[in-house]
Amino acid sequence: MFTKIDKLVTKAFIPTFFLTFFVVLFILFTVFISQYLEDLVGKDLGLDVYLRVFFYFALTLTQMTFPLATLLASLMCFGNLGEHSELTAIKSSGISLLRILLPVGVYAVFISVVAFLSNNYVAPEANLRAYSLIYDIRQKKPALEFKEGGFYNDLPDYRIRIERKDRDGGNGIYGVMIYDHTTRRGNTDLIIADTGKMYNILNDSYLVIELQNGYRFSEPQTENTYKREFVRDNFKKAKFVFSLEALGMNRTPEELFKSHRVMMTMFELRKVADSLDREASHYLSNTPHISKPYYDYQFGAILHDSLTRGIDTLPKHYTQFKKVINPEDMFMFYDKAINKTRNIKNLITASKERVETLRTDSRVYRIEMHQKITFSVACFIMFLIGAPLGAIIKKGGFGVPVLVSIVFFILFYVLTITGQKYAKEGVTGLLTGVWMANGILAIFGLFFLRQAYFDSRLFDADVYYIFFNRFKEKYWKASLAKKANIQVSE
């Protein structure tokens, strides 16, 4: 039944959660997108492309946003209730803390489910579209911009230099030099003009340069390499049209990026990991078969029987072995045996390295698969930390809750990275590594929940001050008693 207490807590938590969610998302997005600023600036992409990039990358960051927003919202919600003595009033009416936390706990479970669906279905698709789009943006050439006194080299087969442009923002240009490389014969065609104008047509698909009072220099190709012609033509007006298709952004098929693990769902990740495990097992089982050509005797039982038959009747003169076989033949046998042994060793080493690589790749895919669950479960664990901690601290707003949230989220992030690293390297078990952060933080959450349930003054400075004084007084009395005993004994 939805009581007034539930309505009060809901009214305090839901708006706070949405506020903190978008604030955290904005902060993470600002930090994340800064590494792509060089790729986005100066490309003349258009507003729609920028909005798509920002939207897709924002969706990819929700995996980290959900846990941190849940932690911060829980802290602020119960911190505000405690700061305004509402939590104390509710407890004094006979309602336990666990009953007060119940509605937010239900919301935390719901947030965990939403986070899992987002991590498993929304984030992979967003990653696919975001990184394929950013790849195409990186391949796109910068926007058309002629710098005075320098050559512009981004138009295929042409090099254009403009000495000066109109200062008032017009399309007039002065001191124009155009090298034509369409014939692929070097700098043999040159166009020079004193003045002209430059503008775009057909929705900026083509660049038009109209020149006045200029010259065209060319060196026609001839069969006689010792005698070359040089042609100079003058013109009063000339018009040149350049296609700007090379400056546009060409989209790469998204299917080429789907093989990356961050763009897969749990089902796809498990499928790839199982395939890698099967390939590793195949390498292990197939290694003895591959190494058979390096063995001279492959029928061990028959060979052993034929060699051991009548062995008891042979005289034991081991030193006579060298007299039976020619020393040159013996050296050849030794060399052949060493080479075959070396080949077998190299084969086994290569197979071992391949198996280790396959198993490491399999662990990486399984870590990514578990991460979709661990980050969603972390939402509920962050509630276990934030809600009782807010009731203990009794501070709302963005001050103390933000500091506490940052500390625990950094702890969560460091433990997650460390656990995944150990799991990838095989130092720990896969489940131990990927769930280590959640397990440790769950202990913190249960501890804070117990302290809040018994109204512990965990963060009250007076408590530690009194404890320190009592300890100092007790130590001081013990020290005085010890000195008195020493004096009496003397």
The pLDDT assigned to 480 comes to: 58
Is beta strand 231-243 parallel, antiparallel or unpaired with respect to 206-218? Answer: antiparallel
Contacts of residue 486, Cβ cutoff 8 Å, sequence gap at least 6: none
| Cβ contact 131:52 at 8 Å | no
Report the Cα 204 to chain-centroid distance in Å. 37
DSSP per-residue codes, 165-180: E-TTS-SEEEEEEEEE
The pLDDT assigned to 68 comes to: 92
Q: Two tokens at 88?
A: 């104390």
Alpha-carbon distance of 103 to 93, in angstroms, equals 18
The pLDDT assigned to 198 comes to: 86
Half-sphere exposure of 430 (CA within 13 A, CB side): 14
Alpha-carbon distance of 355 to 283, in angstroms, equals 7
Alpha-carbon distance of 193 to 236, in angstroms, equals 9
DSSP per-residue codes, 73-120: HHHHHHHHHHHTTHHHHHHHTT--HHHHHHHHHHHHHHHHHHHHHIII
The pLDDT assigned to 351 comes to: 83
Query: The whole model's pTM is what?
Result: 0.72
The pLDDT assigned to 89 comes to: 83
Place of tokens 């390297």: 425
Contacts of residue 1, Cβ cutoff 8 Å, sequence gap at least 6: none
The pLDDT assigned to 369 comes to: 92
| Cβ contact 238:211 at 8 Å | yes
What are the angstrom distances between the C-alpha of 399 and each of 279, 390, 406, 411? Answer: 54, 12, 11, 19
- The secondary structure of residue 249, as a DSSP letter, is P
Alpha-carbon distance of 490 to 484, in angstroms, equals 10
Q: Hey, which bits of 271-415 come out as E strands? A: none
| Cβ contact 33:56 at 8 Å | no
| Cβ contact 453:384 at 8 Å | no
Alpha-carbon distance of 410 to 437, in angstroms, equals 11
Q: In what order do the strands lie in the sheet with 172-180?
A: 151-152, 158-165, 172-180, 189-201, 206-218, 231-243
Q: Report domain extents, the chain.
A: 4-140+372-425+432-452, 151-247, 265-368, 460-490
Tens digit of each residue's pLDDT, the chain (490 residues): 678 888 888 888 999 999 999 999 999 999 888 888 877 876 667 788 889 989 999 999 999 999 999 999 998 888 888 878 888 788 778 788 888 888 999 999 999 999 999 999 999 999 999 888 888 787 776 667 778 888 887 777 888 888 888 877 678 888 888 888 877 777 778 888 888 888 888 777 788 888 888 888 887 766 666 666 777 888 888 888 887 776 666 677 777 788 888 888 999 999 999 999 888 888 888 877 777 776 665 545 555 555 555 555 555 555 555 555 666 667 777 787 788 888 888 888 888 888 888 888 899 999 999 999 999 999 999 999 988 888 888 776 777 778 888 888 889 999 999 998 999 888 888 899 999 999 999 999 998 888 888 877 655 555 556 656 666 666 666 665 665 555 555 5
